[in-house]
Structure 1
Amino acid sequence: MIYLFLVMAIGLIGCRQSTVDPNKEEWISLFDGSNMDNWTPKFKGSELGVNYKNRFIVKDSLLSVRYAARDTFNEDFGHLYYKDKFSHYRLRAKYRFVGEQQTGGPGWAVRNNGLMLHCQEPSTIGLDQDFPISLELQLLGGDGVHQRTNANLCTPGTNVILNDSLFTPHCVNSTSKTYPGDQWVEVEALVLGDSLIQHILEGKVVMEYRKPTIGGGAISGYKESAYKEGAPVNEGYISIQAETAPIDFKSIELLNLCGCMDKKAKNYKSYYVKADNSTCEY
């Protein structure tokens, strides 16, 4: 009887393994709608981990940036960093701009936020650093007057290859339409190390670039040890901004494209593009 039980158990385990679909995408929810436990804030002039004036909040299942009525801008830009580092992935977020800009905020920051890709290690950010060394997928909402493209590229502390040429200015517009008002918008990024980064709206690639490296300026207050001119930027952390525009995030999800590529493993996925066979399970 014991032998029969063991045979049946092994058979059941084998059945479970055989039903694992290597093509099924396993998205990770970076924000679960209840808390910011996996995120760490860093504001210019404040230590890492200080949520300055409680500007990042979770309420009504939304991750939001908010400013009090008497809260006046003082160059105190902030970012909220997810705990893990990634290199090859798809990132998608659903967001909306709401309300009025913080008092005294710069004109360019109206309805302006960002998904910061390949951010430097948060612990290496200077106390008075305004932006992380990173690649910004700029979230830009319509102001009711002007046409404003969305999912643009800004390059704090980085340069990229754009249209086969080195791009050293700070920002460049995408080919998207304007997204006015308080509508929910879903945006996506495809990030393949330093070989290809795409910004995507409504299934269309609106911005594409390659080979990011450290350089170009457009940040201040950084530690010299973190700013290694010309170094490749092929992995990093993900953050969202607090730069005077109130915003809500309903969801932030990631599909890791780096993992076990051994087809004999239980956790093999056909969509992985970079192998990390140290994660294989047999």
Structure 2
Amino acid sequence: MKPKYFSYFLISLAMGLFSCQTSTNDKKEENWTNLFNGETLDGWKVVGGKAEFEVKNGEIIGYAVANTPNTFLITEMDYSDFILELELKIEDLSSNSGVMARGQFDPTARDGQGLVYGYQIEADPSPRAWSGGLYDEQRRGWLYPLDLNPAAKAAFKMGEWNHYRIEAIGNEIKSWINGQEVAYVVDDMDSKGHIGLQVHSIRSAEDEGNKTYFRNIRIQTDNLQPKPFTGDVFVVSTGLNELTELEENNGWRLLFNGENTTGWKAAYKEEFPSEGWFVQDGILTIKASDGSESMSYGDIVTTEKFSAFDLAFDFKFTEGANSGVKYFVTLSEGNVGSAIGLEYQILDDERHPDAKMGREGNRTLASLYDLIKADKNPRFIKGPGEWNKGRLVVYPDNRVEHYLNGVKVVEYLRGSQAYRELVAKSKYHIWENFGEAEEGYILLQDHGDEVHFKNIKIRTLQ
């Protein structure tokens, strides 16, 4: 080929490649719809409170107003499955904010003032740093506090533009901030709703006028291509005994399959108890008896032993009930009553007398029984008849954590001097090296009260 014609060939090839790339990019951009035109609030409406919104320099600015409910700028349209991206900036610590995803609005609530409720991806500038977590506004409260994903707490940048990506596809809601994987929730309460931008209520007139900014708001609703999580992110599910692909890839498995008692047996026998414990509609239940400790039907334990692990479980107790999830159970103590082990306490703190026994509340719900009191905020406690989410993490270095409804409430180092001093002051002091076995069974306790369990899942930690 002659030099001149070769040059023409290269130019044509380059133009073809550019044209192909441009076409691909255009097609990709065509899949996005701008929800904000950069000039007006067409397609949006203000509801809930009296905070004000204006458009300036291609940005939506929300101004805080004291002594008014949370105010939302919501889309006039509802959306079902979508991928949403936007940028958000907060200039003051008082300006908590968030993005409603499939949000709901009841115009008749609060004597006609209206009420916004439903899924909200948080923007939290406080030291708590739960931005990107999932909050169920005016309904169930926190579904995904960032204690479940502490690595994501640093993603949000105060006073800077933060890029949010929110996927609501089927029963899965996922969030990213500045590219960081944050929250993963499986829940089917709402299948569609509005997109909403929040200006949170404030109490102090000194904080009036503080601004929250939003820009570059766009959405995809067709031909959705979910972005898979690739990190070690804890998944919160309100479903029934199911695992996501991410969980399976990260080593999680069901410890209770929801159908039968495979993998469990009576604490001191090779078979499962013949009565008292039963499975119905995907839930494992211990029947009420006389309130005594493992004297009616007996505890059940896993058929496997575990060392370092991450255990999650849902539990529901009846009024005045007492139970527990024990770990590092060896069944070697020869004691009468419930088998000995470290215990995540399950208790109706308001009605059971054990809550006022022990030392400084160390027998209350989610505590390390008789050793360490759970540091609980009342807003994260679900009472009798409601499902609570428990979690136990035992790391290979013997660090241990208890969680209640996504919030860490206990942490200690198994076998440390501080731990042994606590044991010496407790009912367990009579057992040598209590709770320090290299491995042990996981136990669900029969304490004579009706208690329910589901979504029991575990993974081993290396």
Superposition TM-score, scaled by structure 1 size? 0.60
Query: What is the CA distance between 1:219 and its match in structure 2?
Result: 6.4
Pick aligned residue for 1:136 from 325, 334, 343: 343
8 Å contact from structure 1 (residues 144, 181) kept in 2 = no
- The C-alpha deviation readout for 1:65-120, integer Å capped at 9, x for no partner, is 0036xx6748616311011111111100011113x6xxxxxxxxx32211101111
**Structure 1, unpaired ranges of 5+:** 1-20, 101-109, 155-169, 258-273, 275-282
How many correspondences in the alignment? 199
What is the alpha-carbon distance in structure 1 between the residues aligned to residue 452 and residue 434 of structure 2? 35
What is the alpha-carbon distance in structure 1 between the residues aligned to residue 322 and residue 435 of structure 2? 28
Query: What is the CA distance between 1:231 and its match in structure 2?
Result: 8.2
1:28 aligns with 2:256: no
1:118 aligns with 2:338: no
Partner of 2:315: 95
Which residues of 2 match residues 51-70 of structure 1 at below 5 A? 54-67=275-288
1:189 aligns with 2:428: no
Partner of 1:165: none
8 Å contact from structure 1 (residues 90, 188) kept in 2 = yes
What is the alpha-carbon distance in structure 1 between the residues aligned to residue 352 and residue 443 of structure 2? 29
Pick aligned residue for 1:242 from 423, 440, 446: 446
1:173 aligns with 2:370: no
Distance 1:114 1:75, change over 3 A: closer
What is the alpha-carbon distance in structure 1 between the residues aligned to residue 333 and residue 343 of structure 2? 16
Partner of 1:269: none
Distance 1:75 1:237, change over 3 A: closer
Partner of 2:295: 76
Q: Look up the SS of the partner of 1:54 in the other structure.
A: coil
Which residues of 2 match residues 142-181 of structure 1 at below 5 A? 142-143=349-350, 149-154=364-369, 170-176=370-376, 177=378, 178-181=381-384
Identity of aligned residues (%): 23
Partner of 1:159: none
Distance 1:219 1:36, change over 3 A: farther
Paired residue type of 1:172:
I
Distance 1:97 1:83, change over 3 A: same
Distance 1:218 1:50, change over 3 A: farther
Q: Look up the SS of the partner of 2:260 in the other structure.
A: coil
Which residues of 2 match residues 265-276 of structure 1 at below 5 A? 274=462
What is the alpha-carbon distance in structure 2 between the residues aligned to residue 57 and residue 256 of structure 1? 27
What is the alpha-carbon distance in structure 1 between the residues aligned to residue 405 and residue 291 of structure 2? 35
Partner of 2:427: 218
Distance 1:196 1:231, change over 3 A: closer
8 Å contact from structure 2 (residues 341, 434) kept in 1 = no
What is the alpha-carbon distance in structure 2 between the residues aligned to residue 141 and residue 95 of structure 1? 12
Paired residue type of 1:151:
A
Superposition TM-score, scaled by structure 2 size? 0.38
Which residues of 2 match residues 38-57 of structure 1 at below 5 A? 38-42=263-267, 48-49=269-270, 54-57=275-278
Partner of 1:37: 262
* Bigger radius of gyration: 2
Distance 1:172 1:84, change over 3 A: same
What is the alpha-carbon distance in structure 2 between the residues aligned to residue 219 and residue 49 of structure 1? 26
Distance 1:230 1:28, change over 3 A: closer
- The C-alpha deviation readout for 1:143-166, integer Å capped at 9, x for no partner, is 469998521111xxxxxxxxxxxx
Distance 1:209 1:52, change over 3 A: same
Paired residue type of 1:251:
N
What is the alpha-carbon distance in structure 1 between the residues aligned to residue 293 and residue 325 of structure 2? 22
Paired residue type of 1:93:
F
Q: Look up the SS of the partner of 1:153 in the other structure.
A: coil
Question: What is the RMSD of the two structures over their aligned residues, measured on CA atoms?
Answer: 3.3
Query: What is the CA distance between 1:64 and its match in structure 2?
Result: 0.6
What is the alpha-carbon distance in structure 1 between the residues aligned to residue 291 and residue 404 of structure 2? 33
